[in-house]
Amino acid sequence: MRKLFVLVSAVLFAGTAPAWSKGGVVSAADPRAAAAGQEILRAGGSATDAALAMMLALTVVEPQSSGIGGGGFLMVHQPGQREPYSIDGRETAPASASPDLFLGSDGKRLDFRTVVPGGRSVGVPGNMALMAMAHRKSGKLPWARLFQPAIRLADEGFVVTPRLAGALGQMKGVWSDFPDARAIYWQDGRPKQAGETVRNAELAATFRLLAKKGARAFYSGANAKAVASAVSNAPRNAVPMTVKDLAGYRAKVRKPVCMAYRVYRLCGMGPPSSGATTVFQVLGLLERFDMKALGKDSPEAWHLIAEAMQLAYADRERYLGDADFVSVPVAGLLDKTYLATRSASISSDKSLSAYEPGLPPGAAPRTASTTADVPGTTHFVAVDGRGQIAGMTSTVEGPFGSQLVVKGYVLNNELTDFSFVPEERGAPVANRVEAGKRPLSSMAPTIVYGPDGKPVFTVGAAGGKTIIMQVAKALIARLDWGMSASEAIAAPMIYYSGGAIQVEAGTPLAAMAVPLAQRGHMVMAVDMPRLKANAAELTAQGWAGAADPRSEGVALSE
């Protein structure tokens, strides 16, 4: 076992180098998941097939972040097309959910940590419906073949990585009421540690059922009854969920949000994700500045990024939500004139100090929302030798989601992505809870097209609201500063939280704290070990995959 752990550790921490291929490449946040994608490509599968196999494998090896008990967004570029298609597999609130779901009997918002464990936070999972739709549209191998790597991992067992061990350690004081989770991830009365093995026979059996009977077996029959019962009879925060809630779930094809940035065309996920809209706002606000000339070592460049970030997030909090329930002015938020007006308020040598939302074309006045920021989720990419590209961000929200385990997989706590307070100053909040609604997300799978209309770069990230800035930063680094995909996602991170600009400790950006403060920012250097981005780019040698060096991720060639 010790030899196996050393081997896995070597793969984990040697995997940050790019993987070039004239054929296909994959990149995921866990080497076992990347290997599953590689296996599917080598078997003749499409990029979509590989991405779906990685989603299933991550259900096994990265249960703290994603899986079939959660949801996600998928972007797929088909060869010869100038625009990708996107699938929304975001979770939905059950029929019993009402705008006061997260309010106490006194009408005040409940504490986030109180409502996460148990049933109240669980949305109807969407990943299996997404998988079925994607496989019909652009899969190549038989459905059941995609499950084989994940079934092996669950049956034969996998070694606990340091990151999973850290997440399990956080659950020590939480899982007293969750015996199903302890049964899988506990050993000798304590969380499993790095180097120990997890086997999940029940999850393997679930995968075999789904491989044989299709996604409908997730949303009906014994599995649907088990999910509904787990939520309705949860040891904490039990709320009604029914088999009808599961039977009624539908994944949806959404029109991607696309925008020109310099000589490129960028496409990403639209509402209920705020990812593309907010990422593209950041870039649109910066477009009038010569970011290339300023370069990555310029405090002025990072100051401008900080200003654009705060203006874009202000609009996000006010206007973004599930477009099936509220009017979301995506076109107005990305309108060139609107962005130019907002950008004009940015000075190169002084911070704005106050960052209020604007009034984009087509938007009605609306109150801002607030949501918790939980650093979970995972992203993975695949490119096949025929030119198909698939990028998916998948999540169960916080570490181990709701802590509920059903038939071997973790159920999400995605409903805590809704705004807890449904009204502000007498007006409804866009992201308030409503039955059947999908909570606002920051997930931002993105595909970049070059001047000739062909794809050149794809990227996505994990980590709550930081996803937006991880992707925006990577795009600036790749498109403006000419960095490789590996360099772009490894570049230092900047974020805004708690009234301060956060710069990644131990990086050249942290050394710019003084000149940033001189421009009026409150600056904090903080460790950001949970950042986790994955990407792929077209190079002269073919497609190259890249994984974040802060993570355990790897990129592998076909």
Percent of residues, the chain, with pLDDT higher than 70: 94
Q: What does the alpha-carbon distance between residue 380 and residue 54 come to, in Å, rounded to a whole number?
A: 8
Given a contact cutoff of 8 angstroms between Cβ atoms, the answer to whether 193 and 5 are in contact is no
Given a contact cutoff of 8 angstroms between Cβ atoms, the answer to whether 424 and 112 are in contact is no
pLDDT at 8 over 80: no
Q: What does the alpha-carbon distance between residue 432 and residue 277 come to, in Å, rounded to a whole number?
A: 19
pLDDT band at 17 (very low <50, low <70, confident <90, very high): low
Q: Tens digits of per-residue pLDDT, 171-190?
A: 988 999 999 999 999 999 99
**372, 375, 378: which is closest to 445 by C-alpha?**
378
Residue 76 resides in a domain: yes
pLDDT at 191 over 50: yes
Q: What does the alpha-carbon distance between residue 536 and residue 50 come to, in Å, rounded to a whole number?
A: 14
pLDDT band at 368 (very low <50, low <70, confident <90, very high): low
pLDDT band at 2 (very low <50, low <70, confident <90, very high): very low
Q: Tens digits of per-residue pLDDT, 443-458?
A: 999 999 999 999 999 9
Residue 492 resides in a domain: no
Cα dihedral across residues 136, 142, 144, 147: positive or negative: negative
Residue 294 resides in a domain: no
Residue 456 resides in a domain: no
Residue 165 resides in a domain: yes
Given a contact cutoff of 8 angstroms between Cβ atoms, the answer to whether 479 and 535 are in contact is no
Q: Tens digits of per-residue pLDDT, 195-226?
A: 999 999 999 999 999 999 999 999 999 999 99
Task: Please give the backbone phi and psi of residue 68, each rounded to the nearest 5 degrees, phi first.
Answer: -75, -10
Strand partners, 501: 496, 523
Residue 513 resides in a domain: no
pLDDT at 11 over 70: no
pLDDT, the chain, mean: 94
| Count of C-beta atoms within a 10 Å radius of residue 427 | 11
Q: Which two tokens stand for residue 148?
A: 């084989």
284 contact partners, CB below 8 Å, separation of at least 6 = 259, 261, 334, 336, 339, 343
Catalytic annotation, residues: 377
Given a contact cutoff of 8 angstroms between Cβ atoms, the answer to whether 254 and 441 are in contact is no
Mean per-residue pLDDT, 133-144 = 98
Residue 179 resides in a domain: yes
Q: Tens digits of per-residue pLDDT, 250-289?
A: 999 999 999 999 999 999 999 999 999 999 999 999 999 9
Range of the domain at 390: 23-81+89-102+110-253+373-428
Residue 41 resides in a domain: yes
Helices (H) and strands (E) in the chain, counts: 19, 25
Q: What does the alpha-carbon distance between residue 498 and residue 95 come to, in Å, rounded to a whole number?
A: 35
Per-residue pLDDT, 181: 97
Q: Which two tokens stand for residue 421?
A: 């307070």
Domains in the chain: how many in total?
1
Given a contact cutoff of 8 angstroms between Cβ atoms, the answer to whether 546 and 489 are in contact is yes
pLDDT at 143 over 80: yes
Q: Tens digits of per-residue pLDDT, 375-413?
A: 679 999 999 999 999 999 999 999 999 999 999 999 999
pLDDT at 52 over 90: yes
Q: In what order do the strands lie in the sheet with 523-526?
A: 494-497, 500-504, 523-526
Which residue, chain included where needed, has tokens 């994955």?
534
Q: Which two tokens stand for residue 155?
A: 């049956």
pLDDT at 233 over 70: yes
Per-residue pLDDT, 20: 59
Per-residue pLDDT, 374: 65
Q: Tens digits of per-residue pLDDT, 413-431?
A: 999 999 999 998 888 899 9
Mean per-residue pLDDT, 323-330 = 96
Q: Tens digits of per-residue pLDDT, 68-126?
A: 999 999 999 999 898 999 999 999 999 999 999 999 999 999 999 999 999 999 999 99
